[in-house]
Amino acid sequence: MRGGWLAISLLGLAACTAPAPAPVSDRTQPPRAAAKPEPARPATPQLAPSTNGLHTVQRGDTLYAIAFANGLDYREIAEWNRLESPDRIQVGQVLRLTAPPGAVEIIPLDDEAPSERSLAGEAPGERPLEAPALLREPQAVLLPYSEANWATVSAAPAAPAAVAPAAKPAPMVATAPPAAPAPTPVAPASTASTAAKGGWLWPAEGTLAGRFGAAGGKGIDIAGQRNTPVLAVAPGKVVYSGSGLRGYGRLLIVKHAGEYLSAYAHNETILVKEGDTVTAGQKIALMGDSDADRVKLHFEIRRYGKPLDPLNYLPERS
């Protein structure tokens, strides 16, 4: 019995003194390196009016945006720099923004179209203005000196032929003037009816918060809620989409018929890209406050580089 207890004690002592198993570690995957922070991207230079009459093209520039920033007609810049197409300018290219000596100035036939004229084109049945006829006949003739020629030019002018007295007009009979037509009340135009007539559309719903010319403003401000839809006022082509113009935030510029440009600034989100064709009333952006002190849409209309009062072109609102 004593031998049995001795064996059990020896077995317990052996169990207590047995070495513990070594810990197992998984070394199949190497330790992950700490993520390196991405280098900061250089800020895109913003367009501003030139101070020396030159502009070096930066990435993202378009000729329309350069002209817009400097209050010029893009066609003038293309002519002054002999550009084959206004859509083809290269990064690093230096453009002159003043007319070279002997350049021909582009003068539109009609400086400002009436408010009834549509961005989409001329009104039905309206004839374009015609340039005045040019005098192509010589105003003087150089004759060689001779006695005969001297006698011809020195001769006294012939007396004018007698003119028969005009017949007396018949006495006028006083008549009552025709009654003036009654004025037609102008109702606020809806988006659907205005678009159907090919006229202008309001670019957004909201409150008129700034007028043309106030504090040097080149357009109007429409205050509204963030992400309010911004609509194209007429059919056209997007010629600029970006945030490269100082003071405009996320900006869209659309070119329309008749050399009109419409601009939509301070957007939260831009929904179209350069080169896109848009229709009247199409949602092209969402209202925001990029580079502005409040949520609003800054809207401009320009023609031949000249800012126009949008309220002279947009339909009346209630």
Say if residue 41's pLDDT is above 50: no
Split at pLDDT 50, 70, 90, the class of 311 is very high
Q: How confident is the model at residue 121 (pLDDT cuts 50, 70, 90)?
A: low
Q: Please state the rounded mean pLDDT for residues 191-219.
A: 77
pLDDT at position 114 over 80: no
Confidence of residue 188 (pLDDT cuts 50, 70, 90): very low
Residue 125: the pLDDT is: 43
* CA–CA gap between residue 261 and residue 307 (Å, rounded): 9
The pLDDT of 246-275, averaged and rounded, is 95
Domain at 257, CATH number? 2.70.70.10
Total tally of structural domains belonging to the chain: 2
Choose the weakest-confidence range: 8-17, 40-49, 67-76, 96-105. 8-17
Domain carrying residue 65:
54-96
Is residue 199 located within the same domain as residue 91?
Answer: no
Percent of the chain residues topping a pLDDT of 90: 34
* Average pLDDT of the residues in 115-128: 48
Q: Is residue 317 part of a domain?
A: no
Q: Could you read off the pLDDT of 123-168 as tens digits, one per residue?
A: 444 444 444 444 444 455 556 666 676 666 566 454 445 555 555 5
Identify any residues that bridge with 271 across adjacent strands, giving them in sequence order. none
In DSSP notation, 212-259 reads: TTGGG-SSEEEE--TT-EEE-SSSEEEEEEES-BTTS-SEEEEEEGGG
Say if residue 236's pLDDT is above 60: yes
The mean pLDDT of 41-56, rounded to a whole number, is: 72
At residue 70 the predicted structure's pLDDT band, cuts being 50, 70 and 90, is confident
Q: How confident is the model at residue 205 (pLDDT cuts 50, 70, 90)?
A: very high
Buried b (16+ CB within 10 A) or exposed e, 234-248: bbbebbbbbbbbeeb
Is residue 7, in this structure, part of any structural domain at all?
A: no
- Whether residue 255 is contained in a domain is answered as yes
Of 96, 124, 153, the one marking the end of a domain is 96
Last-in-domain residue among 72, 96, 120:
96
* Domain annotation covers residue 8: no
Q: Is the pLDDT of residue 229 over 80?
A: yes
- Which token pair is 316? 């009346």
Q: Higher model confidence: residue 275 or residue 147?
A: 275
The dihedral sign for the CA sequence 137, 140, 146, 150 = positive
Neighbouring CB atoms inside 10 A of 117's CB total 18
The CATH number linked to 62 is 3.10.350.10
Question: What is the reported pLDDT for 232?
Answer: 98
Does residue 61 lie in a domain region? yes
284 and 252 in contact (C-beta within 8 Å)? yes
Q: Alpha-carbon distance 3 to 9, whole Å?
A: 10
Beta-strand (E) ranges in 25-78? Answer: 54-56
> Which pLDDT score is estimated for 194?
46
Specify if 15 maps to a domain.
no
User: Comparing 307 with 147, which gets the higher pLDDT?
Assistant: 307
According to the model, what pLDDT value does residue 123 have? 46
| Whole-angstrom distance, CA of residue 67 vs CA of residue 88 | 14
Return the pLDDT at 29: 57
Q: Do the domain assignments include residue 253?
A: yes
pLDDT attached to residue 115? 45
Helix count and strand count (H, E) for the chain: 5, 13
What average pLDDT score do residues 31-58 get?
66
For residue 231, what are its two tokens?
Answer: 């609509």
Q: Quote the pLDDT of residue 170.
A: 54
Residue 201 scores a pLDDT above 70: yes
Q: Which residues contact 307 (CB under 8 A, 6 or more apart)?
A: 71, 212, 218, 219, 300, 301
The answer to whether residue 213 sits within a structural domain is: yes
Query: Which residues are 285's β-sheet partners?
Result: 230, 270
Q: Is the pLDDT of residue 302 over 70?
A: yes
- Contacts with 207 (C-beta within 8 Å, 6 or more apart), sequence order: 222, 223, 224
* Boundary of a domain, candidates 46, 67, 96: 96
pLDDT of residue 231 exceeding 90: yes
Residue 172 in this model has a pLDDT that exceeds 60: no
The per-residue pLDDT for 75 is 85
Task: For the chain, give the mean pLDDT.
Answer: 73
Question: What is the distance between the terminal CA atoms of the chain, rounded to a whole angstrom?
Answer: 115
In angstroms, rounded to a whole number, what is the distance separating the alpha carbons of residues 182 and 185? 9
Q: For residue 294, which amino acid is it?
A: R
- Name the percent of the chain lying above pLDDT 70: 55
| Contact status, residue 278 vs residue 232, Cβ threshold 8 Å | yes
